[in-house]
A and B are shown apart, each in its own frame.
Chain A
Amino acid sequence: MTSRKITLPDAEALLQTLAEKLKPLLQPNTALVGIQSGGVWLMQRLLTMLDSTIAANQIEYGTLDVSFYRDDYAQRGLKIETRPSQITFDVEGKHIILIDDVFYTGRTTRAAMNELFDYGRPASISLVALINRGGRELPITPQITAADIVLHTNQNLQLIQNADGILSLELQTSSE
């Protein structure tokens, strides 16, 4: 298993692709919501990259930390570091675009949707992910991704942000 070498795509290049694909979705009455923490980094970059479209359509944005909605709380407990969710706009009737870094099982997305509905009733929710690594366990899939790869269940793909704000992907393989 470990012998198979995977070349990881460049996260910064993927971000460019994602921005281009996202642009047509930015209509009036749309709001962006980044999921902590990778999704928030991506959202902040996208806000800068697409600033004229964002301003023209008066796109609002917020962040979610889905810790209080996770379905593995009973097994794993609360993670040590939670961040407050910040949705300061009115969710009611909005077209929400959720932004996540790596799409895997779909459980984070489910948690995010459940949390969003506690703020109000959105008109629609779509999902944008930098990369889909395969392995979904729920009837949820991203509308937009910059890349799709297939990874084994013992592999963990993570988005990393360095001190200068540069994004990269990191793959860890556990030995089981």
Chain B
Amino acid sequence: MRMNNPQLDADGRLKHLLSIEGLPKKILNQILDTAESFVGVAEREVKKVPLLRGKTVCNLFFENSTRTRTTFEIAAKRLSADVISLNVNASSQSKGETILDTINNLIAMHADMFVVRHAQSGAAHFIAQHVPAHIHVINAGDGRHSHPTQGLLDVFTIRKYKPDLHNLRVAIVGDILHSRVARSEIHALTTLGVPEIRVIAPKTLLPTQVEKLGVHVYHDINVGLKDVDVVMMLRLQNERMNGAMLPSVQEYFKTYGLTQERLALAKPDAIVMHPGPMNRGVEIDSSVADGRQSVILPQVTYGIAIRMAVMAILAGGQAGGAQ
């Protein structure tokens, strides 16, 4: 089952976090439970624990993302690590340095952990294969492939509001095709036993054979939202959209935007989520985003706890690890 899984060591412990796909339920639960303990740390007088004291975490962002980079930075700092954030686009890459040369230079500076965001699917995986055994890699989003910490923080948020995952109906709405977030969410929800996952999108924004992931496909949001417990909105990824996949943004809001009227089709206590950054008036109406059922800001808060948990699990002594 774990043959050659690059994320796990010989003893089945987490070595890198590259994607949720392929991670056993036990590890997902370990991360979620550990994050539970980290939530309280942020509410104390001193918002820090000494676990990663003396370690150096490198945030390598080959693609911009202010929020994700900031939350990883805060998470590492709350674990007492030293953090270096590099916007690689703006530096060595533009001078022609290869990814591995960049990595090797940082290893020569004694980096202990890499947090990698890249526009190419598989970038973090590639780096993980080339680093020495004592170095850990976290995927902070690679192309259309995966964004595991976002998927984890989303299920963590769901679990906080709806603890009984085995009785949930979850709808993911929007640009599934370009969304690594959707993929990670689907894998996480499936592994943790959520019985019904719906994806709601126009045909042009759905990957072919998406049903193979075990989800139910809806093209009409007014049907798809009926009686769901959780509505997970996705951002319309303008920057990834080349070619005419949609008539217009206004048209999209008219057919797929989440309004109060549409939200009323879901269960009365349904929660509304969004990974951010939001396009108000495109995929979500402001009154919903700021409304009573929105848990969009708690998602951000829990994101830090999840990232702390992942780093703390990775950096701790590993039985089979070198050094």
Which residues of A are at the interface with B, using a C-beta cutoff of 8 A? 65, 67-69, 72-78, 80-87, 91, 114-115, 117-120
Q: When A118-B44, A119-B44 are in contact, do A84 and B37 touch as well, CB less than 8 Å?
A: yes
Whether A82 pairs with B37 at a CB distance below 8 angstroms is yes
**CB-CB contacts below 8 Å: B282-323 with A:** 312-313, 316-318
Tell me, yes or no, whether B211 is within 8 Å of chain A by CB. no
Tell me, yes or no, whether B39 is within 8 Å of chain A by CB. yes
**CB-CB contacts below 8 Å: B114-161 with A:** none
A77 vs B309: C-alpha distance when bound (angstroms): 12
Q: When A78-B34, A82-B34 are in contact, do A69 and B316 touch as well, CB less than 8 Å?
A: no
Whether B45 pairs with A69 at a CB distance below 8 angstroms is no
Whether A68 pairs with B41 at a CB distance below 8 angstroms is yes
Tell me, yes or no, whether B36 is within 8 Å of chain A by CB. yes
Q: Which residues of B contact A114 (CB under 8 A)?
A: 50
Which residues of B are at the interface with A, using a C-beta cutoff of 8 A? 13, 30, 33-34, 36-37, 39-41, 44-46, 48-51, 312-313, 316-318
User: From residue B280, how far is it (CB to closest CB) to chain A in Å?
Assistant: 35
A85 vs B46: C-alpha distance when bound (angstroms): 14
Given A75-B317, A87-B44, A117-B46, 11 further pairs, Cβ under 8 A: A65-B37, A68-B312, A73-B316, A77-B317, A78-B51, A81-B33, A84-B36, A84-B37, A85-B37, A85-B40, A118-B45
Whether B50 pairs with A84 at a CB distance below 8 angstroms is no
Q: When A68-B49, A73-B51, A119-B45 are in contact, do A78 and B313 touch as well, CB less than 8 Å?
A: yes
Can you list 10 A-B pairs with a CB-CB distance of less than 8 A?
Answer: A68-B51, A74-B316, A77-B13, A77-B313, A82-B33, A82-B34, A84-B37, A118-B45, A118-B46, A118-B49
A108 vs B3: C-alpha distance when bound (angstroms): 37
A77 vs B317: C-alpha distance when bound (angstroms): 4
Q: When A68-B49, A118-B45, A120-B45 are in contact, do A84 and B317 touch as well, CB less than 8 Å?
A: no
A67 vs B48: C-alpha distance when bound (angstroms): 13
Closest to B36 in A: A84
Closest to A70 in B: B51
Closest to A114 in B: B50
**Which of A81, A118, A119, A120 is most buried by chain B, counting CB atoms within 10 A of its CB?**
A118
